[in-house]
Amino acid sequence: MTDNRLTDFKVILEKAKQWLAQDPDAQTKTLLADFIQRAEQGDDTAKAWLEQQFSARLQFGTAGLRGPLLPGPMGMNRVLVAQTAAGLARYLLSQKDSPSVVIGYDGRKNSDVFARDSAEIMAGAGIKTYFLPRLLPTPVLAYAVRYFDTSAGVMVTASHNPPEDNGYKVYLGDGNLGAQIVSPADKEIAQYIDAVSAEQSIEHLPRSQDYEILDDTVVKQYVEKTASLGNHAGSLKYVYTAMHGVGYETLLAVLDKANLPRPIAVKEQCEPDGRFPTVSFPNPEEKGALDLAIALAQEENAEFILANDPDADRLAVAIADENGQWQTLHGNTIGALLGWYLVDKNQYNQKDNTIACSLVSSPALKAIATRYGLNFEETLTGFKWIGRVPNLVYGYEEALGYLVDPDKIKDKDGISAAVVILDLLLKLKQEGKTLLDYKNDFEKEFGAYASGQVSIRFDDVERIPALMKALRDNPPKQFDTFRVVELIDHQNTDKKSNILVFYLEDDSRIIVRPSGTEPKVKFYIDAKTAQASQAQEKIQLFTQSLQKIISDYQ
């Protein structure tokens, strides 16, 4: 009788050896060779690790690829990146006779290596290839796609993921206008990648050094266009952190061009460092990420804090409340305030202009659209959808992503958002007001909106669909004391997405969806009341109720 487990592992072991034979990276090659040797000697831990790394591939889809820097098809490494670049090249050649691509990278470990591998493979496939001059923010790459009118753009970044991760973000030009990939392109690209990996070793992929390393022209154009968003002058005392990422240099260039005040920098975090030594999780939303910035703000008696994530496509804002306690404003709060400021300032043509947010973002933006007579669109999660909204003048998502100048790029931009925030704060200062005053004014005008989130991280990703199925099969009838009056399952709507929306009798709502970039299920809570304190109390009640409900379902 055949032992299927033994047969299956022999297949895994053969895959691992084939991968090892083509791996050009000394570090991942040594690591993989060690696991293979240990597995052949009967080490069960090594066998389990090989099975985990070689039983599947990182899924090419939302934001391209993201994963840990490990060997094998479930890790980010030079073999996987080469296969991806070759697959993307085949896709581009299938779409156009003479395609082109621009490639950028951030400061994470191996970002530059992955970017150069991609450039050589793209050029080797006969694609006109541009290469950004140095590590730069994701928004600069997104702008370069439109500036050069390329068929595609590649940004090597894992954004705000943990330090051990990296990623591969793809934009499409031509009819896609430089937005991130969506279906069916993502599935078609994935098929080409699979074909490359099945057909040949990456050693046989043609490579070429015939790609163009760009000068600073495109960076200067990005800086000039972004600087034009600032109209007010004056002094501000504020703290800034780049979260060990690539935002600081470009931000300073924009501020100087716009004659906006420079920040007090968190020196430990403003130079690119892929180790992220001062934060356990380089995401401004995470608890503790802004500790150094807050300490500096207190020491300097600063008015507020601005923070980019490591690739500078997101922006966090922190202020001191009436009691002097520093708080990071929720992405929905900043999204609504920016939207109100831009709509009121620009007095957009009411017929032809649209403001938009993802469906997991606050209903506050819809209230602004209604008040000003603008079109409003609620999209699926992610800027790959928001950036594609026709006649868009402003868009945001609650995860600290804001698009304040969609004529320039079709993705979130933490540097452009910083300029508009500074412009707003300078205007407020001229009026003798603060951002906290502006927030209070918004609540008087539109009501008090509050948001919260509960995230459940899974070591075993197979448990995620099980939880979503349980919520569908036996949905909660109430949260805290408030009854569910409507449940929308977006698998059954035109959005065709794995999202559940619970509407409660008090007009609050709770949204559930798996994360597209991390092994999490996220629960979004939105409440509206007359006063901010009441809204926050509701968020706390719903959070406690959710935690109990989740525990019961697990």
Q: Which residues are within 8 A (CB) of 38 and not within 5 positions of it... i.e. 6 or more apart?
A: 45, 46
State the DSSP code for 37: H
d(CA 179, CA 176): 6
Cβ–Cβ < 8 Å for 508, 526 = yes
- Cα atoms in the Cβ-side hemisphere of radius 13 Å centred on 179: 23
Q: Dihedral sign for Cα 136, 139, 145, 148, please.
A: negative
Q: Is 533 a catalytic residue?
A: no
Kindly compute the dihedral angle of the four CA atoms of residues 230, 322, 544, 286, in this order, to the nearest 10 degrees.
40
Cβ–Cβ < 8 Å for 143, 104 = no
3-state secondary structure of 313: coil
What are the structure tokens assigned to 208, written together? 């070429």
Q: Which residues are within 8 A (CB) of 98 and not within 5 positions of it... i.e. 6 or more apart?
A: 128
d(CA 234, CA 10): 69
Q: Which residues are within 8 A (CB) of 521 and not within 5 positions of it... i.e. 6 or more apart?
A: 455, 456, 458, 464, 467, 468, 512, 513, 514, 515
- β-partners of residue 479 are 482
Q: Which residues are within 8 A (CB) of 72 and not within 5 positions of it... i.e. 6 or more apart?
A: 16, 19, 32, 50, 53, 54
Q: Which of 111, 118, 159, 197 is catalytic?
A: 159
What are the structure tokens assigned to 54, written together? 């070689």
DSSP count for the chain of H helices, then E strands: 17, 22
Catalytic positions: 159
